[in-house]
Amino acid sequence: MKCGDRIAYLREKRGLTQEELSHKLGISRASLSHYETNRREPDYETLRNIANYFDISLDYLLGRTNDPYSELDKDVRDFVDSLELSDENILEKFSLTVDGRKLSVEEAKRFIAFIRAERSFK
């Protein structure tokens, strides 16, 4: 789940409309809509406000943990944040999946190459 998916899930779980939640957070409904559809990412202050409103951890919103109430140990958080997917050992050690099917090491390398090429055009 991406950050926007988690925001939408939390909002719907509370039975709130986008209009209601955006008002409580002090942002526009359009901004919230963009966040929920993963077209834009919220800034730090907005993330903090969302976490505070729902009484959950930022680690959950950022996808570092699937438990909304736990925070990762600093060493684990640093590891997750600095994980380099192009590292051969990482590709072999962890399962990367797309549509429920595990990527081979070669597929993962092509995926990484695609992302690098796309970034070079920006």
- Residue-wise pLDDT tens digits, 11-32: 999 999 999 999 999 999 999 9
Q: CA-CA distance, 27 to 46, in Å (whole number)?
A: 8
Say which residues have a Cβ less than 8 Å from residue 46's Cβ, sequence separation at least 6.
25, 27, 31, 35
Candidates 30, 38, 29; CA nearest to 1 is 38
pLDDT in tens, 66-93: 878 766 567 766 666 666 666 677 666 6
Candidates 74, 76, 101, 79; CA nearest to 90 is 79
Domain boundaries, the chain: 3-74, 83-120
Which class in CATH covers the domain with range 3-74?
mainly alpha
Say which residues have a Cβ less than 8 Å from residue 29's Cβ, sequence separation at least 6.
18, 19, 22
